[in-house]
Amino acid sequence: MIRALYARLRQGHRTIRYPEVLAPALPEHFRGRPLIDASRCVDGCRACADTCPIEAVHIDTVPRIDLGRCLFCTDCADACPQHAISHSSDYRLATRARGDLLVAPGEELKLARALDERLRSLFGRSLKLRQVSAGGCNACEADVNVLSTIGWDLGRFGIQMVASPRHADGILITGCVTENMRTALLDTYQAVAAPKIVIAVGACAIAGGPFVNHPQQHNGVPESIPVDLYIPGCPPHPLTILDGLLRLLDRLPREGR
């Protein structure tokens, strides 16, 4: 016991202090929100859109990126002859509406707004979620799980993952929703008592990810399940997930917004 107490004292405080202080520094190779410099785009150029493996880049008069589909690879940036596409270090990506993830150059991303007052009164200080891996590769699942470790300590915000939908206030979905998992997902959703919330984490859950339009999956959460929060990424960084959850519950300091 003495050794354990000494080790704890020597290690000190291990949980990050976010959001009370600024977000921790992210590594140089971190890929946050993609940015497009429209002033560099050339009329008729479709190099970025033609290269994207999952059609996340759309060309109107200027390119737009669907963050819900985006895998955060560098294929579009590498293909652009004008070097108009780059990745920022901005980890804040979560939105309340699917359409808000389709962003044009120069547009501000409409970050997730908080739940209404009634739902915040129910879930704002205690939110229990049942995590459903509906055909994921375990990348999004791993980054959700790491939030429960000592370094992040999701429980300090009153947010916990529970083992049964009967004990949950909502579900957190990862994976592209394979045919074999579709019924299980729908049953899990129905088993959660109303009112309930739904969170889609990762490109697969939002739009099918790299498996988009494959016949054995459903391109993410079916329309019969209303989604309250979209957290894009492949996989999203734990900080991106935490930021989205805290925005939904209105738990971020005002200066951090």
What pLDDT was estimated at residue 62?
Answer: 78
Q: Stretch 114-140: mean pLDDT, rounded?
A: 96
Q: Domain residue spans in the chain?
A: 117-256
What pLDDT was estimated at residue 252?
Answer: 92
Q: Stretch 51-69: mean pLDDT, rounded?
A: 91
Over 90: is that where the pLDDT of 257 sits? Answer: no
pLDDT digits (tens, 9 = 90+) for 218-249: 999 999 999 999 999 999 999 999 999 999 99
Rounded CA separation 61/3 (Å): 66
Q: What is the CA radius of gyration of the chain?
A: 19
Over 60: is that where the pLDDT of 116 sits? Answer: yes
In CATH, what number does 117-256 get?
3.40.50.12280
What pLDDT was estimated at residue 253?
Answer: 86
pTM of the model: 0.93
- What is the band of 3 on the pLDDT scale with cuts at 50, 70, 90? confident
What pLDDT was estimated at residue 255?
Answer: 57
Over 90: is that where the pLDDT of 6 sits? Answer: no
Over 90: is that where the pLDDT of 177 sits? Answer: yes
Cα dihedral 200/205/210/213 (nearest 10): -140
What pLDDT was estimated at residue 23?
Answer: 82
Residues 6+ apart with CB under 8 A from 24: 16, 18, 239
Burial class (CB in 10 A: 0-12, 13-18, 19+), 158: middle
Highest mean pLDDT, choosing among 21-25, 40-44, 58-62, 236-240: 236-240
What pLDDT was estimated at residue 244?
Answer: 98
